[in-house]
Amino acid sequence: MDEQTLRDLARDWLAGDPDPVTRDELRALLDAGDEDELAERFAGELEFGTAGLRGVVGAGPMRMNRAVVIRTTRGLADHLLASVPDLDDRPVVVGFDARHDSERFARDAVGVLLAAGLQVAWFPDVAPTPLVAFAGLELRAAATIVVTASHNPPEYNGYKVYAGNGAQIIPPTDERIADAIAAVGPAAEVPRVEEWDDTVVEELGTFARRRYLDAIAAARAAFDVPRELSIAYTPLHGVGGPLTVAALQEAGHDRVTVVGEQFAPDGDFPTVPFPNPEEPGALDLALATAERVGADLVLANDPDADRLAAAVPDRRGGFRPLTGNQLGVLLGDHLLRAGDPDEDRLVVSSIVSSPMLASVAAHHGARYEATLTGFKWICNAALALEERTGARFVFGYEEALGYSIGEVVRDKDGISAAVVFADLVASLAADGQDVLDRLVELYGRHGLWVSTQTSAVRPGAEGLAEIARAMARIGPGAVPSSLGGVEVTDVTDYRTGASERPAWLGETPLVALALAGGSRVLMRPSGTEPKLKVYVDLRDELDAGEDLAAEEARLTRRADAIAGELLAFVGLAGD
């Protein structure tokens, strides 16, 4: 757009921004004539989708700020007023994490909801996302809002929305809310209540925490902890620390040593450049703590405590971080072992997670279902299948360290997962085994599975076009005959045929290749970054006495070669 149009848009936004901080920021950009920065901030609007909102904090419609939160909340309120018939009996629950501006954004949301005539219950102090989601489920909330950017860098914040069923929203609800947001005028004109007390807004705190801890206790795999563990734990400067430690201790895991430098909530995340437990280096302080105290287990939550990472002692005297798939299969197997084999049970995982869980489920006589990526699909599929089949949802996971233990929360929950995994480690120790022994046992029964993810990064508009051209080169009738010397036996193109699949496996830009012997390869563009991703899940037999680490390394090399071969087939090279 031309310079004058850009400056006019910025001045219009400035007039409607109720926040003096972002007004000053925008005025400074206008005074400095920073057209490039203005163009980026006014290239459109931060898009509301199934994950709500997420973006860098700052002035303008493409940033997270009070004006965006106020307009978004009014749009959500209008959607609820138009679509939920029993709002008099159903509050909207609001919670927030410890990021910069999170409390201010949450207060704005509460004020807008009150001015719209809705009932509100909120956490006046920082709270983990699973606890807020649990409160929404317990209170039959019409919707639940969590102000959080989870494990994103410190300059980000976000706004997550759960539907009235307690799960994250899915289409077309997100589109209807987005349409309602678009109809809202300037933020400064949106009515909101500035002050309130607990006679107007229900304050959630001790009672909600007590109910949540009770729900975790009820969802455990029905046994007493047979052996005390030494656990090293970090919340990575997030808000999950006290509640996770309390949940572990109430389950009998009393010997928890926290990483002191990372225990207090801090939105700057000073000891980790990227507060994601998947990232290299994120667990360094926790691993050092574990070495110092001789821990049996390392546990880590991401900053809003909806994810869990774990590391266990290896055979060389150090610690081995578990992959998201390994942790998912171990948890799923553990919960199914402890349950009633005659009960109709259900486990669910995302399509990019390891196929091994399907084999584990079959071994235990349980149902298995795959969904598109994201817990919005995992939990909504579980709800639909429970209603349709009468099966009980036991477990769900996705490979990015997300786990759902039954229906404690209808989303991923790193706190309940931490408790159940500690239970598993303790029960193995009581039998003279460890987690690696259990993995070897599972691999012996279901095959050794190794999962890798390779990306080709192509930034900019031309890069996105290159990724689109690459995806156009693959599909039915346009696949390699073999990969890594293994025959390609089938192809499923999820870009078509959605009407023949359940809603949770609907249309998405994903192509799946089945390989002889049960292995598979998936290719899809990233939804948030300029990347084309290749997921390889290789299966091989693990014979008794074979070295697990050596066999995993061998399969990983094969998987990497297969990913490179497929990227070359579509005209790209990996990074």
- Where does residue 218 rank: exposed (0-12), middle (13-18), buried (19+ CB within 10 A)? exposed
Q: What is the DSSP letter of 168?
A: B
Q: What tokens does 463 get?
A: 């890069």
Give the closest residue to 448 by CA, choosing from 460, 456, 440. 440
| Residue 135 backbone phi and psi in degrees, to 5 | -60, -40
DSSP-assigned letter for residue 49: B
Q: Report helix, strand or coil for 454.
A: strand
Which residues have CB under 8 Å from 389's CB, separation 6+?
A: 344, 346, 367
Q: What stretches of 129-268 adopt beta strand conformation (E)?
A: 143-147, 156-162, 202-203, 230-234, 255-258
Given 102, 150, 353, 451, the catalytic residue: 150
Burial of 100 by CB count in 10 Å (0-12 exposed, 13-18 middle, 19+ buried)?
middle
Tell me the C-alpha distance between 151 and 268, whole Å: 12
> Is-contact 451 540, C-beta < 8 A?
no
Q: Which of 280, 239, 297 is nearest to 123 (CA)?
A: 239
- Judge contact between 448 and 555, C-beta under 8 A: yes
Question: In sequence order, what are the residues at sequence separation of 6 or more whose Cβ sits closer than 8 angstroms to the Cβ of residue 94?
Answer: 106, 109, 110, 113, 120, 121, 122, 123, 132, 144, 145, 146, 147
For the chain, the straight-line distance linking the first and the last C-alpha, in angstroms and rounded, comes to 34
Please state, in angstroms and rounded to a whole number, the distance separating the CA atoms of residues 279 and 501. Answer: 34
β 297-301/308-313 pair status: antiparallel
Q: Report the alpha-carbon distance of residue 349 to residue 371 in Å, rounded.
A: 6
Contact 335, 405 (CB under 8 A): yes
The dihedrals phi and psi of 202, each to the nearest 5 degrees, come to: -70, 130
Contact 535, 442 (CB under 8 A): no
Listed in sequence order, the residues at least 6 apart from 384 whose beta carbon sits closer than 8 Å to its beta carbon are 502, 503, 504
Instruction: Report how far residue 103's alpha carbon sits from residue 96's, in angstroms, rounded to the nearest whole number.
Output: 6
354 assigned to active site: no
Is the omega angle on the peptide bond into residue 130 within 30 degrees of 0, that is, cis? no
Residue type, 385: L
> Known catalytic residues?
150
